[in-house]
Structure 1
């Protein structure tokens, strides 16, 4: 089994690194020789992807699920050229238990199911943040997910990782390694070039 060189250097015991090492600098080609990343191990193996591509987590929140906006959110990512590598419908939000706003957030996040997704693509974290828009729907620009679909700051449709490091942790929280599917899209060269 392939392991990134960061495992030993950054603490092998870290839960998220054990569950999903692919979002570290080694995955992007930093800290190791320029060689192809390992391929998939079976149909649901680790999503190592191609060199230079990253992963990010996107949560479609309960308000958007209740309003049947999941397909619209997915369509925006697909049109942008990103590749869906994992998705599941669930009801959960434990990682925010220590936050001061937790009781209100818990009530909201437990009000219905949410959809957790992992998207892969070049510069996907920064691009996703731009696609999602400002947290406050009043400040979100038209054309962004929140600008087009959100009505209030407390019901802002989606959550998206804000950095590669955060994406790495959040993906490890919501998904097991074997839930990430490694696959190559047939339009890759048309999206990213040869």
Structure 2
């Protein structure tokens, strides 16, 4: 008789005679399961219950067994943190949050939150070009405003000069008309005076002859 357990061992035990506990960090039937989520990987060798029931290792959902990993997109203690949205491939590392699949174009760093050097230089060049273009546009607008202002002032001056010329011409015409009327009145007066003097002279001559 060998003492071998022909039907196998109970959970948490191993070897032919089932006299040896599962190794550190393992438990269950034939010690085939692992308590990776327990703090320091310390758990009951039979059922996997964590020795430290206050928390689980980062990357695991908190419960007394700590045997459920974070869902995709979450990481850290009790899976309370969210992976960076700039990771090239999801999920990030469930424990640290590192973008293990790389970063989106133009980004770098542990969690892809840093702008890469090449992108920064490119951004500086783009910013410079945008600045030059914006400056040119503003200069063009300024020149257009100045030209419009000059044209407007020139037109106002021309209109003012035209009005002054028209006013001067009207005054000259009125003065000429006044002079013409005045001369006409003087001429009429002189003719009337001559006619009156001639009539008086004729009357005197007639009276003298009759006497």
Q: Please give the TM-score of this superposition, normalised by the length of structure 1.
A: 0.19
Greater fraction of residues in strand: 1
Q: Please give the TM-score of this superposition, normalised by the length of structure 2.
A: 0.18
Higher Cα radius of gyration: 2
Identify the structure with bigger relative contact order (alpha carbons < 8 Å, sequence gap 6+): 1
